[in-house]
């Protein structure tokens, strides 16, 4: 009996070891997963009086003599990430945030081959960048169907965490259809795949494989209090990514569907009050005048439960679904209104956004953004009333004072420091107000984020 138990133990161990042996799968990807190195040039300037820097005068409260700023040599900032070969003719896929603002991008293979890459197009909302390297006969990855992946399926992440090239980790799909919690609005248009596979800094842009060796996601974000892996990583579904890639190849920009509603979740109490059998759907709180929902007869108080044949369980399901529909398509929308279900026919609109053409950056004429914020006038937005005040944040530059504090989509209405305050009605107001503060001063940026008030302190650089 003892011998039988021992034999059974070894038999089970052998099966388990074989079941979790991914060595062949990993070897097949060695020529397809790459390291991405992005170089940015950062201009800097300083003021000094003799050998005494301006900071010394400010520290002791002494007025600084009126001397002009001295130009300093540009410094290089290098960031690294991961990516993978998409086609034999050299298309490479990675994250937008890996190459954002880069003057030079180098793609490195495991066998030490290096190629300078061209940025074909980027899409900030999906965090995707399409690169191209000038050579042929590359070995592309196999593309899988991310819509078929289910909670509990096994996955493998390959990338360059902390520049440790071609590192492999294993995990499962913890959840699908996740929204982003970064506050940048990216999750509104990407139904993330959540995984517990170890993902760290440098894994960004790398592939997430299923156990058949097919890429079903692009590693993009982690949720961490320590800055490292805590078992909460998020990947862009490959089906979403390929829709973006197709548009970037065709035109270099991405168009998304837009409904034009603001809303939230349906709680159990609200469902009971509305007469619904269960809490499901996306509650419409406001409708943007003149947009698709308004033209299609959607009203505040409606609950959208189905759109284009897709069930809407949560509000982010509505955002994810609409964002993937091509503008101009007519769809059927099932809503709950006044105690009964009704169906409306709606022509999907175009998501209003600012697109920037990808061009090599001329460092001599490079635009400088105050506090690292690219701003837009509210008066330029056709969906907003001209009576509304403030400026909208279009982009936040990495490593800037506002990065991680102010987010894309925020509306800034006032800047305050102590008893000094400035109303912000235009970009010129914003830039002029900053001239009243010195480097190192802490200012309070006041505005709104998705309808909620914000009060964010930012240090003037």
Positions marked catalytic: 97, 127, 204
Q: Which pair of tokens denotes residue 260?
A: 């034009």
Rounded CA separation 225/294 (Å): 41
Indicate if the alpha-carbon torsion angle 92, 96, 101, 106 is positive or negative. Answer: negative
Rounded CA separation 424/389 (Å): 7
In sequence order, the β-bridge partners of residue 193 are 235
Residues 6+ positions from 264 with CB-CB distance below 8 Å: 282, 283, 285, 315
Rounded CA separation 149/214 (Å): 11
Tell me, letter by letter, the H, E, C secondary structure of 376-414.
EEHHHCCCCCCCCCCEEEEEECCCCCCECCECCCCEEEE
Rounded CA separation 341/335 (Å): 6
Q: Which of 367, 427, 431 is closest to 392 using CA atoms?
A: 427
Q: How far is CA 163 from CA 28, 79, 204, in A?
A: 21, 10, 11
Rounded CA separation 314/270 (Å): 14
In the chain the first and final C-alpha atoms are separated, in Å, by 76
Helix-, strand-, coil-residue percentages of the chain, each rounded to 5? 20, 40, 40
Q: Are 373 and 350 in contact (CB under 8 A)?
A: no
Task: Please state the φ and ψ torsions of residue 248, each to the nearest 5 degrees.
Answer: -65, -35
Q: Are 336 and 302 in contact (CB under 8 A)?
A: yes
Tell me, letter by letter, the H, E, C secondary structure of 286-327.
EECCCCHHHHCCCCCCCEEEEECCEECCCHHHHHHHHHCCCC
């Amino acid at each position: 009996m003892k011998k039988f138990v021992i034999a059974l133990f070894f038999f089970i161990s052998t099966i388990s070891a074989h079941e979790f042996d991914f060595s062949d799968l990993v070897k097949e990807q060695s020529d397809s997963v790459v390291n991405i190195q992005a170089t940015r040039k950062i201009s800097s300037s300083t003021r000094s009086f003799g050998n005494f820097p301006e900071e010394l005068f400010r520290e002791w409260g002494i007025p600084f003599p009126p001397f002009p700023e001295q130009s300093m040599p540009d410094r290089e900032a290098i960031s690294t990430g991961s990516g993978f070969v998409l086609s034999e003719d050299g298309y490479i896929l990675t994250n937008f945030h890996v190459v954002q603002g880069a003057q030079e991008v180098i793609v490195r293979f495991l066998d030490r081959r290096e190629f300078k890459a061209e940025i074909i197009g980027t899409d900030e909302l999906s965090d995707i960048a399409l690169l191209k390297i000038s050579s042929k006969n590359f070995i592309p990855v196999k593309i899988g169907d991310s819509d078929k992946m289910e909670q509990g399926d096994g996955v493998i992440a390959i990338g360059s965490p902390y520049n440790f090239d071609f590192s492999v980790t294993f995990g499962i799909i913890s959840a699908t259809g996740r929204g982003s919690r970064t506050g940048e609005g990216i999750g509104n248009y990407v139904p993330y795949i959540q995984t517990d596979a170890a993902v760290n800094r440098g894994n960004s842009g790398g592939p997430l494989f299923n156990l058949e060796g097919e890429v079903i996601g692009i590693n993009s974000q982690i949720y961490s209090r320590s800055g490292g892996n805590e078992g909460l990583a998020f990947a862009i579904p490959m089906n979403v990514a390929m829709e973006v890639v197709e548009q970037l190849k065709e035109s270099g920009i991405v168009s998304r569907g837009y409904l034009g509603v603001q809303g939230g979740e349906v709680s159990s109490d609200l469902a009971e009050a509305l007469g619904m059998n269960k809490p499901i759907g996306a509650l419409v709180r406001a409708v943007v005048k003149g947009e698709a929902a308004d033209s299609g007869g959607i009203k505040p108080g409606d609950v959208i439960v189905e759109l284009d044949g897709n069930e809407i369980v949560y509000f982010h399901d509505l955002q994810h679904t609409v964002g993937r529909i091509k503008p101009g398509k007519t769809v059927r929308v099932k809503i709950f209104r006044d105690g009964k279900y009704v169906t409306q026919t709606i022509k999907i609109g175009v998501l209003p956004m600012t697109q920037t053409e990808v061009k090599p950056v001329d460092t001599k004429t490079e635009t400088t953004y105050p506090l690292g914020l690219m701003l837009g006038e509210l008066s330029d937005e056709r969906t907003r009333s001209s009576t509304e005040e403030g400026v909208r944040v279009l982009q936040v530059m990495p490593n800037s004072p506002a990065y991680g504090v102010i987010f894309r989509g925020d509306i800034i209405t006032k800047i305050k420091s102590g008893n000094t305050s400035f109303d912000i009605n235009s970009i010129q107001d914003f830039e002029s107000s900053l001239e009243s503060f010195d480097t190192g001063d802490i200012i309070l940026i006041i505005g709104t984020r998705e309808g909620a008030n914000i009060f964010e302190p930012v240090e003037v650089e």
